[in-house]
Amino acid sequence: MVLRMAGIKTARTAELSEGDLLEITRLMEAAFGESFEGYWDDIGPALHFMALGTGEVLAHACVVDRELHTQGHQLRTGYVEGVAAWPHQQGRGHSTKVMQAVNEFLVENYQLGGLSTGVNGFYAKLGWETWKGRTYIRMRDGALARTAEEDGTVMILKTKSTPALNTKAPISAEWRPGELW
Ligand SMILES: CC(C)(COP(=O)(O)OP(=O)(O)OC[C@H]1O[C@@H](n2cnc3c(N)ncnc32)[C@H](O)[C@@H]1OP(=O)(O)O)[C@@H](O)C(=O)NCCC(=O)NCCS
pLDDT tens-place string over residues 18-57:
999 999 999 999 999 999 999 999 999 999 999 999 889 9
Element (H, E) at 66: strand 57-70
Tell me if 3 is assigned to some domain. no
pLDDT average, residue stretch 147-154: 98
CATH code where residue 160 lies: 3.40.630.30
Tell me if 128 is assigned to some domain. yes
Q: What are phi and psi of 126, to 5 degrees?
A: -100, 15
pLDDT (tens digit per residue) in 78-98: 999 999 999 999 999 999 999
Mutate to test the pocket of ligand 1, among 119, 156, 179 (most ligand atoms within 8 A of CB): 119
pLDDT at 7: 83
Tell me if 181 is assigned to some domain. no
Domains in the chain, number: 1
Q: Which atom in ligand 1 lies closest to the alpha carbon of residue 118?
A: 47
pLDDT at 4: 47
- Per the DSSP assignment, residues forming a β-bridge with 68 are 75, 173
Tell me if 86 is assigned to some domain. yes
Query: In the 8-state DSSP scheme, what is residue 111?
Result: S
Tell me if 2 is assigned to some domain. no
pLDDT at 80: 99
